C-alpha cells in the first residue's frame, strides 16, 4: 500500500480546484488540493479482514430512489458532526505575533465500538493539527473526542469517544454503521450523502454513482510529489463540512467516505468519496493499533509564500516568507518563527517556495540543513543561521 504524505497545496489563485469539504468557522483551516490529472482507472481491492474488523450490523431495507427518508432515518444515528479547534500564530507586518483559535467543521461515521469507546472514521484533514475535538450525535448531544490514529497518505483517520462521556439515552440512540461492498457498485446506482454541510448540522443530498475508480492526482506544494487516489465519483452534492461523512447506497450501507468535490464555474456535480474497500482495512488497523502512518519524505515543517516584488519596496528581502510553523516539526524544534524570511538553505539562495521545495527534496529524513533567515527588527532585518533537522512528513 502506498505511503505518501497527504498535504495541502497552497496557491494564490486557481480557476479549477478540488476542494475538500471541511469548513472553517473563524478562519480558513480546511484543506485545498488542486487537481493535476483526472482519468478513469480500476478499483482498489479490499484486504483480508483483520481481527479488529468493523462489525456489520443488520442490513437496512431497500427503498425507492423517490423516497429515501427510510434510509436516512435508519442511517442518521451512525453519522456524526465533528468540530475541530486549531491554533494558529498570526504575525503582523512588524513582527508582533498573537495566537488565534480557529474552529472548523467536518463529519464522521461510527464504524465500531467496544466496552470503552465509540470509534468514528473520518478524513485526516478534518482532524489534523486539532487542539480539541467535539462530536455531535444525531440526538444533538455532544461529547469530547480524541484521535485514535491517522493515515495522512490516504486522508483517513479514526477518532474515539469515551462511552463514559455519553448519557444513557445517547448510548441507546447511536448505532454502528452498516458497511457495504464498494466493489459491487455500478455506475448509475443511487447515492446518498450525509454530512455536516457548512457546519450547520447533518443534512442529506442525493444523486447517483457517476464513475468508479477515478484516479484523481493531487500535487503536494510542500514536497512537489504527486499523489494519486482512486475514488468514487458521484453527483450527490459534497459541500464544505461533508468531509468524513457517509456515502450510502439505496440499502443504507456505507459505500464510501465523502472527501472532496471538483469546483469550477464550468463543472457541476463532481463529488468524490474514498471507497470502503480502501477504507475498511486501514480503519480496522487504526482502531487496533492506534498509530499514525509516517512517510519517509523529508519535511521542513512550514507554510510559506514568495516575497513578491511589490513588497520588496518595504525592505523585505527576497525569499520565502514563513506564514505558519507546524507544531512538532523540525522547523518548530529549531525555533523558526512565523514572520521570518528564509533566504538560503546550506548556502544556496532561495527566492521562492518552489526553490525551497526543490532543495528539501534532495535531502533525507534526519539530515540537518542550515537555514539563513531574516528576522524583522525595528523596521529592518537581522540575519541568522539556524540548523534544522528534517523530519518525516506526517501532516
HSE of 351 in the Cβ direction (CA atoms, 13 Å)?
A: 5
> Pick the catalytic residue: 8, 243, 259, 260?
243
Is 125 catalytic? The answer is yes
The grid coordinates listed for 146 are 480524541
User: Cell numbers 493515515 correspond to what residue?
Assistant: 151
Q: Distance (Å, rounded) from C-alpha 35 to C-alpha 42?
A: 19
> Pick the catalytic residue: 29, 125, 259, 263?
125
Handedness of CA 330, 334, 336, 337 (dihedral sign): positive
Q: What is the DSSP letter of 25?
A: S
Helix, strand or coil for residue 373? strand
C-alpha separations of 177 from 79, 184, 277, 359 in Å: 8, 18, 15, 46
Is 285 catalytic? The answer is no
Q: Distance (Å, rounded) from C-alpha 331 to C-alpha 335?
A: 6
User: Cell numbers 526553490 correspond to what residue?
Assistant: 355
> Pick the catalytic residue: 155, 220, 285, 306?
155
Angle at 79 between CA 76 and CA 85, to 5 degrees: 140
Residues belonging to the active site: 125, 155, 243
Amino acid at each position: 500500500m502506498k505511503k505518501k504524505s497527504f498535504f495541502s497545496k497552497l496557491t494564490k489563485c486557481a480557476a479549477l480546484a478540488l476542494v475538500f469539504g471541511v469548513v472553517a468557522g473563524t478562519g480558513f483551516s480546511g484543506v485545498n488540493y488542486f487537481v493535476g490529472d483526472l482519468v478513469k482507472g480500476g478499483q482498489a481491492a479490499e484486504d483480508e479482514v483483520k481481527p479488529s474488523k468493523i462489525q456489520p450490523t443488520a442490513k437496512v431495507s431497500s427503498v425507492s430512489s423517490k423516497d429515501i427518508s427510510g434510509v436516512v432515518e435508519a442511517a442518521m444515528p451512525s453519522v456524526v458532526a465533528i468540530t475541530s479547534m486549531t491554533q494558529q500564530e498570526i504575525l503582523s507586518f512588524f513582527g508582533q505575533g498573537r495566537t488565534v483559535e480557529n474552529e472548523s467543521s467536518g463529519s464522521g461515521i461510527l464504524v465500531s465500538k467496544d466496552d470503552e469507546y465509540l470509534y468514528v472514521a473520518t478524513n485526516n484533514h478534518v482532524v489534523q493539527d486539532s487542539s480539541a475535538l467535539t462530536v455531535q450525535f444525531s440526538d444533538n448531544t455532544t461529547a469530547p473526542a480524541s484521535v485514535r490514529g491517522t493515515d495522512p497518505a490516504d486522508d483517513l483517520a479514526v477518532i474515539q469517544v469515551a462511552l463514559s462521556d455519553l448519557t444513557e439515552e445517547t448510548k441507546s440512540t447511536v448505532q454502528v454503521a452498516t458497511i457495504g461492498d464498494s466493489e459491487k457498485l455500478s455506475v448509475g446506482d443511487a447515492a446518498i450523502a450525509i454530512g455536516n454541510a457548512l457546519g450547520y448540522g447533518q443534512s442529506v443530498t442525493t444523486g447517483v454513482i457517476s464513475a468508479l475508480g477515478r484516479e484523481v492526482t493531487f500535487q503536494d506544494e510542500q514536497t512537489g510529489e504527486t499523489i494519486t487516489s482512486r475514488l468514487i465519483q458521484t453527483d450527490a452534492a459534497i459541500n464544505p463540512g461533508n468531509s468524513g461523512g457517509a456515502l450510502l447506497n439505496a440499502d443504507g450501507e456505507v459505500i464510501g467516505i465523502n472527501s472532496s468535490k471538483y469546483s469550477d464555474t464550468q463543472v457541476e456535480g463532481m463529488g468524490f468519496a474514498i471507497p470502503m474497500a480502501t477504507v475498511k482495512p486501514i480503519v480496522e488497523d487504526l482502531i487496533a493499533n492506534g498509530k499514525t502512518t509516517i512517510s519517509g519524505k523529508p519535511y521542513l515543517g512550514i507554510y510559506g509564500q514568495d516575497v513578491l516584488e511589490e513588497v520588496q519596496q518595504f525592505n523585505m528581502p527576497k525569499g520565502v516568507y514563513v506564514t505558519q510553523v507546524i507544531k512538532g516539526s523540525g522547523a518548530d524544534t529549531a525555533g523558526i518563527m512565523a514572520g521570518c524570511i528564509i533566504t538560503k538553505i546550506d548556502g544556496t539562495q532561495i527566492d521562492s517556495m518552489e526553490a525551497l521545495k526543490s532543495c528539501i527534496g534532495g535531502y533525507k529524513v534526519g539530515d540537518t540543513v542550515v537555514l539563513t533567515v531574516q528576522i524583522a527588527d525595528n523596521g529592518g532585518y537581522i540575519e541568522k543561521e539556524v540548523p534544522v533537522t528534517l523530519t518525516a512528513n506526517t501532516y
